[in-house]
Structure 1
Amino acid sequence: MSPGTTKSQQWQWENAVAGSAAGFATVAVMHPLDVVRTRFQVNDGRVSHLPSYRNTAHAVFTIARSEGLRGLYAGFLPGVLGSTISWGLYFFFYDKAKQRYALNREEKLSPGLHLVSAAEAGGLVCLCTNPVWLVKTRLQLQTPLHQTRPYSGLYDAVRTIMKEEGFSALYRGIVPGLFLVSHGAIQFTAYEELRNVLVDLKNKRSKIHHQNPDKLLNSVDYAVLGATSKIAAILITYPFQVIRARLQQRPSGGVQRYTDSWHVLRETARFEGVRGFYKGITANLLKNAPASSITFIVYENVLKLLKLTRKND
């Protein structure tokens, strides 16, 4: 640790590094399912340039056959960039908020304060990363059936969007994105509370009470905690993801298919019913349950490594 760095600052940056590593590992493994989920989400049965898929397996096979590996990894660069930045900032802001709320408190933070900390972190991350997610969505939706000139990559997409639609277009979907802050809030609150319960159970069974949680929990525990908390968050907040994806589609002939969140909500309910708000959820669960396990395994273990390195300095 450098002389001018406090323990609090060092801890915050350790959380950011661990979160970024976790985000990168997650995207690299699970990106093809993210492409499938996005295409299911926006396919309302009335969009001509999107192929129809029977199920997740059929979608993966069809994309691989017609578009190759490039199709399965469409939007990979903004996906990696967005996820790495998001997780890094999220863990950084989340831990900073917890430290602030824990000031002058000897007891553990309440579930309510965990929720507020997670929501605060999610809102800040959403404002920073919405343009990246918009570009990722549009790259994932490009298919051989598109009549519009395709974006050649991340830079070309940003430049073209700003030229054709203006800077504000990069923030399409920001409203449901902000509502999706509840996703992270629910996930992290569930994770923290389940983690505390598991630590208490293991402490009771251990001969040495009040051990450091780092010594009590292992990668299997982190995997189960990560997957369980993620599933709970997905089931509650998934409709917001569908609304955001539909808003972020590229205009057809210069005309936006949906004008705002309320328009998406009204049209989806009218033509597709409740089922329309859960399109692609199978691919989402297949992607995010194990992905969340990977994220928290990497995060917790990288954090342990950084703590150990700091102690040895």
Structure 2
Amino acid sequence: MSAAASQPLPFHFQFAAGAIAGVSEILCMYPLDVAKTRLMLQVGGGGGDQYKSILDVFSRIVREEGASRLYRGILPPIMVEAPKRAIKFASNDTYGAMYKQLFGKDKLTQPLAIMTGVSAGVTEALIVATPELVKIRLQAKENAGRYAGTMDCVRKIYAEEGLRAFANGLEATVWRHALWNGGYFGSIFAIKEVLPKAESKRGELAVNFVAGAIGGTIGTTLNTPPDVVKTRIQNFNPARGAPPYTTFLAGARAIAREEGFRALYKGYVPKVLRLGPGGGILLVVYDHVTTYMRANLM
């Protein structure tokens, strides 16, 4: 590898590459995120008017609400995607360098890869918690006629619930992102160690996609329970009284006790279908864009 190819990119290049990768992944996979949210918000069994599957979610949304509802709530994640993905990748690189120096290592090890991922996830969670809350409110079935759009949602939350409401679910969001990033970046490190070394650019893209997809699947498996809890906390209507729980562990215990352990994995299938391949898309696009930047802009 040449010195130019191995040297770190300036932050503004990392920012741009992360933004492009994140927006690309969202545009490709967002309808699965809507399906995931609808399934996670279902309480109890699968009877009555509840959704039965991903296809049932898609068909009923299109039939009852219109196809555009599959992209409802996309503006908050698009608006936050540039700083979010920049922080995901740039802070992962920054924490990696910091931990290597702290522990006297010349290169990243498996434990350090997990530590850097978790640290990057905590940092990312602080940025995305409020946009996530707005997105969840817009995606929820019961809110279909309540909010006219993103800014109307923000205004009504502030007017009806106060400024502190925008921090609802922050602790569960930290759990969600710490577990996903730790699983994603930690497993990518291990997977790339065992996969055959790429002999061409196409082979390198294939390795990145496979590593990213497996990493995304592992991260999703680890972080779905806090995601379920976070989603319910952020969609709770204070008009119903005090929330039944406000933290991840309390919420996980309550959901497992009242609905069974499997309820903590509601929405897992659409989520893993999004974030498995989505993790591959992220890594491939980020690598492709940074490679282009090194070759043409540095």
TM-score, normalized by the shorter chain, greater than 0.5: yes
In the alignment, structure 1 segments of 5+ residues that lack a partner are: 1-6, 207-213
**AA of the residue aligned to 1:170:** F
**AA of the residue aligned to 1:113:** L
* Contact 1:250/1:256 (8 A) holds in 2: no
Among candidates 77, 88, 109, match of residue 79 of structure 1: 77
Structure 1 match to 2:153: 157
**AA of the residue aligned to 1:123:** V
**Partners of 1:86 and 1:51 in 2: how far apart?**
36
**Partners of 1:217 and 1:95 in 2: how far apart?**
24
**AA of the residue aligned to 1:93:** S
* 1:91 shift after superposition: 1.0
Instruction: Give CA deviations for 1:193-236 in whole Å, capped at 9, x if unaligned.
Output: 222333xx327xx6xxxxxxx95852222111111111112122
**Partners of 1:158 and 1:46 in 2: how far apart?**
32
- In structure 2, relative to structure 1, the CA distance for the partners of 1:220 and 1:13 (3 Å cut) is same
In the alignment, structure 2 segments of 5+ residues that lack a partner are: 1-6
**Partners of 2:130 and 2:88 in 1: how far apart?**
17
**Partners of 1:292 and 1:238 in 2: how far apart?**
15
Structure 2 match to 1:28: 27
RMSD: 2.6
- Large movers: runs of 4+ above 4 Å: 214-217
Question: Aligned runs of 1:285-304 on 2, under 5 Å?
Answer: 285-304=272-291
* Contact 2:216/2:278 (8 A) holds in 1: no
* Contact 1:13/1:92 (8 A) holds in 2: no
**Partners of 2:209 and 2:45 in 1: how far apart?**
39
- Whether 1:270 aligns to 2:266 is no
* Contact 2:15/2:82 (8 A) holds in 1: no
* Contact 2:16/2:82 (8 A) holds in 1: no
Structure of greater Rg: 1
Structure 2 match to 1:234: 220
Q: Which secondary structure does the structure 1 equivalent of 2:241 belong to?
A: coil
**Partners of 2:239 and 2:39 in 1: how far apart?**
22
**Partners of 1:277 and 1:254 in 2: how far apart?**
22
Structure 2 match to 1:40: 39
* Contact 1:135/1:154 (8 A) holds in 2: yes
Instruction: Give CA deviations for 1:99-157 in whole Å, capped at 9, x if unaligned.
Output: 2233495721122222222222111111122000000011000447x6xx612222222
* 1:252 shift after superposition: 5.8
- Whether 1:193 aligns to 2:180 is no
Q: Which secondary structure does the structure 2 equivalent of 1:58 belong to?
A: helix
* 1:256 shift after superposition: 4.9
* Contact 1:142/1:150 (8 A) holds in 2: no
Among candidates 143, 167, 170, match of residue 166 of structure 2: 170
Q: Which secondary structure does the structure 1 equivalent of 2:107 belong to?
A: coil
* Contact 1:34/1:287 (8 A) holds in 2: yes
* 1:260 shift after superposition: 1.5
**AA of the residue aligned to 2:286:** Y
Q: Which secondary structure does the structure 2 equivalent of 1:102 belong to?
A: helix
**AA of the residue aligned to 1:249:** N
**AA of the residue aligned to 1:271:** E
**Partners of 1:51 and 1:253 in 2: how far apart?**
23
- In structure 2, relative to structure 1, the CA distance for the partners of 1:51 and 1:95 (3 Å cut) is farther
